[in-house]
Structure 1
Amino acid sequence: MKFQSTISLLSLALSSVVTAAPGSNVESDCAFPIGFSKHKNAKTVGRLFEIDGKVQYFAGTNAWWLAHLSSNKDVDISVTEMVATGYKVARVWGFGDVTELPPTTNTDPNKVYFQLLANGKGTINYGKDGIQRLDYVVHSAEKHGLKLVLPFFNNWGDYGGVAAYNRAFGGNATTWYTDAVSQKVYRNYIKTIVTRYRKSNAIFAWELGNEPRCKECPAGTITKWASEVSAYIKSLDNSHMVTLGDEGWLTPNSGVGDGSYAYSGVEGVDWVANLKIKTLDYATFHLYPESWSYEYTWGNQWIEEHDALAKKSGKPAILEEYGTPFPSNHTETERPWQVTVEKSGIAADQIWQFGSNTLSVPGPTLGDVNTIYYDDEEYKLLGKQHAKIMASKKVPTH
């Protein structure tokens, strides 16, 4: 999701006098215990997943902001509410890049950053306003039984992303995937995160990025990049799953669709080709018809097409993001998509996004027009009931 925060961390950092000092750049152990759970890591089983020893369908969510909360209590409240919903997996930004230090006056979620991109390198912030916040998220998730998907970069400019790399090292959104300096810094960041948390079974999957695109790139650029980066992650940690985090774009060679935008390959992503990458354990796709100029009812077709293509490959697929811009009134547009998922072979879905009104940070500060808030009336259906239905689906025995 291209998320526009109420106050952009980067815009604040670039428009204010910098007074903050960077956190220590000396790597240390996690600030909070991890690796204490005795459950095995999640893994694929056919087109489904085994989580804590049980093969199952499931519902999950997104909470991009979770590791950008300064309060441990706020993290715990959020995690316990997600678990109480019946969610098995939450997708949380594992990145937070800046090109200048944020002002000390910043508040959540704009006071936390994980990496400073400057002077030809990436400097990790190991301080209390840095990676230690992600430490606590992994700790809390492991403690309460929630699994995490952690993306390593953002295609969009929110909380760093490709735009931050470009400002620091040059290039543009197209050249980022092959730029030597950017890719070296990106891989160094991956190594930092993966080696830090690879002992925790709270990690559901490492994700290459949020919605990677490479418009007008040479054919196969994303597929080649994804093959190489996923293999690199597997070399660091072969016991957790790896996924791409893409929107599921199809091409005229996919065998489905009418050749319109979502099927044109114009964004440089070939979902079918990426299904063949052996070091990607499962596929993702997203759904935002209003942003892509489709009718909401088309979403059911999009789900069914990806289900059919994933079935041919034998890999699980997750509808990793979906949302509609109708605050507190998402049921009419989103519930039909959930019903389609419930009737399909899609392993799981993760709604965009979870929100809570019981934190010290106001819910709207973290949310957007797509957010469904815990204990709101619509949440009972789109959150709790849907999670229950997915969890109760019969698992094929063949």
Structure 2
Amino acid sequence: MIKKINLFLLSFSLMLTANAQQAFVKQTAQQFTIAGKPYYFIGANYWYGGLLALEKDPVKGKKRLISELNFLKSRGINNLRVLVGAEGEGKINGVDRVKPALQPQHQIFNEEILNSLDFLLMEMAKRKMYAVIYLSNNWEWSGGFLQYLNWNGKIDQETLKRKLTWDEQRDYTSKFYDCDPCKSDYKKQLDFIISHRNSYTGIKYINETAIMAWELANEPRPMRADAVESYQKWISSTAGYIKSIDKNHLVTIGTEGFMGTEENWDLFKEIHSDRNVDYLTIHIWPKNWGWFKDSPTKESLPEVIQKTTEYIQQHENIAKALNKPLVIEEFGLPRDGHSFDPALSTQLRDEYFGSIFKHWKNSKKMNGAIAGCNFWTFGGSSRPVKGQLFWQDGDDFSGDPPQEEQGLNAVLIQIIRPGR
């Protein structure tokens, strides 16, 4: 009995200590606040951060994580956008997906994935850093909606594995919002995550101050115009459900903005006007959206920056009208010359990032609506494997997900070699 009491007191003490270090992030009109003070942040996408503690080799796992968090904190980064876990295993849409999975098989959960995320959250709390955790994915690289459709008979196994055309991917993914068992499965995973208790600190996730927000998914799109109504209903009901079981954390959708809502400004505004959605997000992808050809150049960059500025300002106006914060939570640009070689220049990317940070800086000065930026993506100490284009089992996790060329967008820690 005494042993149980001592364990309880230790757990309670750890919880008080962790929570004493920071307060929950709140939304107050068009600002985030912490303990009543404005919170404007420069952050990073660190989707693999919750998986590092799974590595058996501490140098590649926990030690790497601690080193990278220290590096980020020393550079003023105090906000990280993290994937909670993947759904399913094996090939999907012709590519490998993130592994190991949180839900490797239908309704079978691997709690070790959350235990690994626990370590990240504990270390972030020590450094007064905040996590935005996205709960699923519109895209195949972590299973996401396509996997839920497969588990519920809407996509057969052969179709799931092969490379889909863009029209096929839109057709299939859009069915998620009208698939009741798919949405029920999503909710079961959501419940599993939010009800979790940190295995290191004993703190329930609903009481974890290191979590800033739950994000419904990475870039959820209706994908087809006829799915818009079901898409809106799912967003509203899911956001409302999260708020009903977790009163402490913010909720956001995870949209790209105009480009992710079937190019419908009214739809973007309507989904973010929901009272249970606390802030707006946008993503900016000049390469994917055809804002330059082949690779960015010194000559094409001014036009890319101009289009980016217009995209930000248009969404900022909506954020002001809704009186909610706006986060530019994904933006990336390949290395100069579209190279994957870490030794080559990032001059154009640096200039591009600087133009976005300038918008954030001006907003901060004016107590404006652009409250945060999370660049895509932090690759830390990882390096692409020479002669190998895509991620393989045993490789270090990097900022570029498995379906993308390793080194494409990852921002890496510079390694200073002796004599240089």
Give yes or no for the alignment of 1:79 onto 2:69.
Answer: yes
The alignment's TM-score, normalised by the length of structure 1, stands at 0.74
What amino acid does structure 1 have at the position aligned with 2:108?
T
What number of residue pairs does the alignment pair up? Answer: 322
| Stretch of structure 1 that moved more, 335-344 or 306-315 | 335-344
- Structure 2 counterpart of 1:356, from 368, 374, 380: 380
User: Which of 285, 288, 311 is equivalent to 1:291?
Assistant: 288
1:234 has 2:243 as partner: yes
2-structure distance, mates of 1:269, 1:152: 25
Q: Which has the higher contact order (CA 8 A, sep 6+)?
A: 1
In structure 2, what is the Cα distance between the partners aligned to 1:243 and 1:74? 29
Give the match for residue 309 of structure 2. Answer: 300
- Residues 159-217 of structure 1 show CA distances to partners (whole Å, capped at 9, x for unaligned) of 21112222222323011122111111110111111122111100000000000012223
Q: How many angstroms does 1:343 deviate by?
A: 2.2
- In the alignment, the residues of structure 2 paired with residue 290 and residue 80 of structure 1 have an alpha-carbon distance, to the nearest angstrom, of 31
Cα distance change on mapping 1:135 and 1:267 into 2, 3 Å: farther
Does the 8 A contact of 2:31 with 2:371 survive in 1? yes
Residue 142 of structure 1 deviates from its aligned partner by 1.5
SS at match of 1:348: strand
SS state at 1:292 partner:
coil
Q: 2:102 aligns with which of 114, 117, 130?
A: 114
1:279 pairs with 276, 287, 295, which one? 276
Residue 11 of structure 1 is matched in structure 2 by none
Contact 1:357 1:363 in 2 (8 A): no
Tell me the SS of whatever aligns to 1:321.
strand
Q: Which has the larger radius of gyration?
A: 2
CA contact (8 A) 2:222 2:228 kept: no
- Whether contact under 8 Å (1:287, 1:323) holds in the other structure is yes
Gaps of at least 5 residues in structure 2 are 1-10, 56-60, 92-96, 155-171, 197-204, 292-302, 340-344, 384-393, 401-405
Of all paired residues, the percent bearing the same amino acid is 26
Q: Please say if residues 98 and 141 of structure 2, whose CA atoms lie closer than 8 Å, have aligned partners that are also in contact.
A: no
1:371 aligns with 2:410: yes
Structure-1 separation of matches of 2:410 and 2:35: 28
Matched, 1:125 2:110: yes
Bigger shift: 56-65 or 229-238?
56-65
Separation of aligned partners in 2, 1:183 and 1:66 = 26
Shift of 1:88: 2.0
Counterpart code for 1:180 = D
Q: What's the Cα RMSD here?
A: 2.8
Q: Answer yes or no: is the 8 Å Cα contact 1:34–1:142 preserved in 2.
A: no
CA distance in 2, matches of 1:272, 1:312: 9
Q: Equivalent residue of 1:190, what SS?
A: helix
Q: Distance in 1 between matches of 2:264 and 2:24?
A: 33
Structure 1 residues 157 and 268: CA distance shift in structure 2, 3 A: farther
For structure 1, the 5+ residue unaligned runs are 1-29, 102-108, 250-261, 378-398
Distance 1:225 1:285, change over 3 A: same
Give the counterpart letter for 1:143 in structure 2. Answer: K
* Aligned residues of 1:40 and 1:53 also touching (Cα < 8 A): no
Correspondence for 1:254: none
Aligned to 1:106: none
What is the match of residue 94 of structure 1?
84
Deviation at 1:52, TM superposition (A): 5.5
Provide the secondary structure at the position in 2 that maps to 1:158. Answer: helix
Report if the CA contact (8 A) 1:215-1:267 is conserved: no
Tell me: CA distance 1:364–1:126, structure 2 relative to 1, closer, same or farther (3 Å): closer
Amino acid at match of 1:126: E
Could you report, residue by residue, the CA deviation over 1:203-240 in whole angstroms, capped at 9, with x for unpaired residues? 00000000001222343332221100000101110111
Matched, 1:201 2:209: yes
